[in-house]
Chains A and B, each alone.
Chain A
Amino acid sequence: MINSIIDYSARNRFTVFLFVAAAVFAGLWSMQNLPLDAIPDLSDTQVIVYSRWDRSPDIIEDQVTYPIVTALLGAPKVQAVRGFSDFGYSYVYIIFQEGTDVYWARSRTLEYLSKILPRLPEGVQTELGPDATGVGWVFQYVLVDPTGAHDLAQLRSFQDWYLRYYLQSIPGVAEVAPIGGFVRQYQVNVDPNALLAYKLPMERVVDAIRQGNNDVGGRLVELNGREYMVRGRGYARSLDDLQQIVVGTDERSGTPVLVKDIGRVELGPDIRRGVADLDGTGDAVGGIVIMRYGENALRVIEHVKEKLKEIEPGLPPGVQVVTTYDRSELINRAIDTLKRTLTEELIIVSLVILIFLWHIPSAIIPIFTIPVTVIIAFVPMYAMGITANIMSLGGIAVAVGAMVDAAIVVVEQTHKKLEQWQARGRPGDYRDVIINAVKEVGGASFFSLLVIAVSFMPVFALEAQEGRLFKPLAFTKNFSMIIAAVLAITLDPAMRLLFTHMRDFSFRPRWLARVANAVLVGKIHSEETHPISRPLMRLYQPVVELALRYRWVVIVAGGLVIALTFPAYQRLGSEFMPPLNEGALLYMPTTLPGISVSEAGRMLQVQDRVLKTFPEVERVFGKIGRAETSTDPAPFSMVETTVLLKPEDEWRETPRWYSSWAPEWAKRILRHLWRDRITWEELVYGPNGINQAMQFPGWSNAWTMPIKNRIDMLSTGVRTPVGIKILGADLKTIQQLGEQIEHVVKTVPGTTSVFAERTAGGYFLDFELRRPELARYGLSVANVEDAIVSAVGGENVTTTIEGRERYAVNVRYQRGYRADIERLSRVLIGGMDGAQIPLAELADLRLAEGPGMIRNENGLLTGYVFVDMAGRDIGSYVADAKQAVRQEVKLPPGYSLVWSGQYEFMQRVKERLMLVVPITIFIIVLLLHLNTGSWVKTALILLALPFSAVGAVWLLYLLGYNLSIAVWVGLIALLGVDAETGVFMLLYLDLAYEDARANGRMRSWNDLREAIIQGAVKRLRPKVMTVATMVAALLPIMWSTGTGADVMKRIAAPMVGGILTSFVMELVIYPAFYAIWKWGWEVKPTLAVERV
Chain B
Amino acid sequence: MMRGRGQLATCQSSATKPELPSPPIPLPLATVLIAILLAASALAQHVHPPGAEQAIPAVTAHAAEHKILYWYDPMHPQYRSDKPGPSPDCGMEMVPMYADEAAAQQNLPAGAVQISPQKQQLTGIRTAAASRRALRKTIRTVGVVQPDETRVHKIHTKFPGWVDKLLVNSTGQQVRAGDPILAIYSPDLVSTQTEYLLARRGYEQLHHSSVADAADGSKTLLAAARRRLLLWDITPQQIRDLEETGKAQTSVTLHSPVSGYVTAKDVYQGVYVTPEMDLYTVTDLSHVWVILDVYEYEMSNVHVGTPVTLRLSYYPGVTLTGTITYVYPYLDGKTRTNKVRIELDNPGMRLKPDMYTNAEIEASLGDQLVVPEDAVLDSGTRQIVFVATGNGHFEPRAVQLGARGEGYVAVIDGVKDGEQVVIAANFMVDSESQLKAALRGMGEGKNSDQ
Contact = CB atoms under 8 A, between A and B. Distances in A.
A575 B55 CA distance: 8
A913 B431 CA distance: 45
A789 interface: no
A735 B142 CA distance: 48
Contacts of B79: 720, 753, 755, 866, 868
B91 A719 contact: yes
B88 A755 contact: yes
A596 interface: yes
A755 B336 CA distance: 53
A739 B448 contact: yes
A758 B88 contact: no
A826 B41 CA distance: 77
A712 B92 contact: yes
Contacts of A959: 44, 48
B57 A681 contact: yes
Contact of A573 (B44, B54, B358): B54
Given A573-B56, A668-B25, A687 B47 contact: no
Given A735-B448, A834-B334, A697 B95 contact: no
A1034 to B, nearest CB: 11
B276 interface: no
Contact of A674 (B41, B47, B63, B336): B47
Interface string A716-748: 101110010000000000010001000000000
A154 B5 CA distance: 37
B33 A1035 contact: yes
B40 interface: yes
A959 B12 CA distance: 29
A191 B278 CA distance: 39
Interface residues of A, number: 124
Interface stretch (B199-207, B250-258, B376-384, B411-419): B376-384
B380 A591 contact: no
Contacts of B99: none
A196 B74 contact: no
B159 interface: no
Interface in B111-127: 113, 115, 119-120, 122-125
Contacts of A589: 74
A576 B85 CA distance: 6
B81 A752 contact: yes
A712 B81 contact: no
Contacts of B33: 669, 1035, 1038-1039
B75 A704 contact: no
A713 B91 contact: yes
B88 A588 contact: no
Contact of A614 (B12, B73, B80, B430): B12
A1004 B90 CA distance: 71
B147 interface: no
Contacts of A375: none
Interface stretch (A219-227, A343-351, A549-557): A343-351
A681 B36 contact: no
A687 B5 contact: no
A254 to B, nearest CB: 14
Contacts of A735: 448
A962 B296 CA distance: 72
B122 A962 contact: no
A342 B50 CA distance: 33
Contact of A962 (B57, B335, B381): B57
Interface string A959-973: 110100000000000
B63 A847 contact: no
A571 B125 CA distance: 46
Given A615-B8, A777-B336, A960-B60, A196 B142 contact: yes
A347 to B, nearest CB: 6
Given A603-B123, A719-B91, A835-B334, A758 B429 contact: no
Contacts of A840: 295, 297
B30 A697 contact: no
A1038 B5 CA distance: 29
A651 to B, nearest CB: 9
A752 B336 CA distance: 63
B425 interface: yes
Contacts of A763: 379-380
Given A763-B379, A1032-B31, A753 B435 contact: no
Interface string A825-842: 110000101111110110
B178 interface: no
B179 interface: no
Interface string A653-690: 11011100000100011111110001101101111100
B77 A868 contact: no
A592 B427 CA distance: 9
A771 interface: no
Contact of A846 (B81, B86, B358, B380): B380
Given A704-B93, A713-B90, A615 B11 contact: yes
A881 B380 CA distance: 37
B16 A697 contact: no
B240 interface: no
Contact of A723 (B88, B141, B434, B435): B88
Contact of B95 (A594, A702, A777): A702
B244 interface: no
A356 B58 CA distance: 43
B74 A700 contact: yes
Given A615-B11, A688-B14, A837-B336, A695 B61 contact: no
Interface in B59-111: 59-63, 66, 72-96
A421 interface: no
A664 B20 CA distance: 9
B438 to A, nearest CB: 10
Interface string B39-54: 0110110111011001
B356 interface: yes
A1050 to B, nearest CB: 11
B55 A700 contact: no
Contacts of A251: none
Contacts of A758: 447-448
Contacts of A591: 427-428, 431
A519 to B, nearest CB: 21
Nearest to A680: B58
A354 interface: no
Nearest to A761: B450
B176 interface: no
Contacts of B429: 697-698
B363 to A, nearest CB: 12
B425 to A, nearest CB: 7
A853 to B, nearest CB: 10
Contacts of B358: 193
A698 B435 contact: yes
A719 B432 contact: no
Nearest to B61: A682
A652 B450 contact: no
B316 interface: no
A718 to B, nearest CB: 6
Interface in B378-409: 378-381, 404
Interface string A743-778: 000000000110101101001100000000000010
A592 B88 contact: no
Interface in A578-629: 588-592, 594-596, 599, 602-603, 606, 610, 613-615
Tell me which of A685, A758, A955, A957 has the highest count of chain B C-beta atoms within 10 A of its own C-beta: A685
A699 interface: yes
3 A-B pairs with the lowest CB-CB distances in the bound complex, closest first: A573-B55, A698-B431, A615-B8
6 contacts: A589-B74, A594-B427, A615-B11, A687-B66, A716-B89, A752-B81
Interface of B: 1, 5, 8-9, 11-17, 19-23, 25, 27, 29-34, 36-37, 40-41, 43-44, 46-48, 50-51, 54-63, 66, 72-96, 113, 115, 119-120, 122-125, 140-142, 293, 295-297, 334-336, 354, 356, 358, 373, 378-381, 404, 425, 427-432, 434-435, 447-448, 450
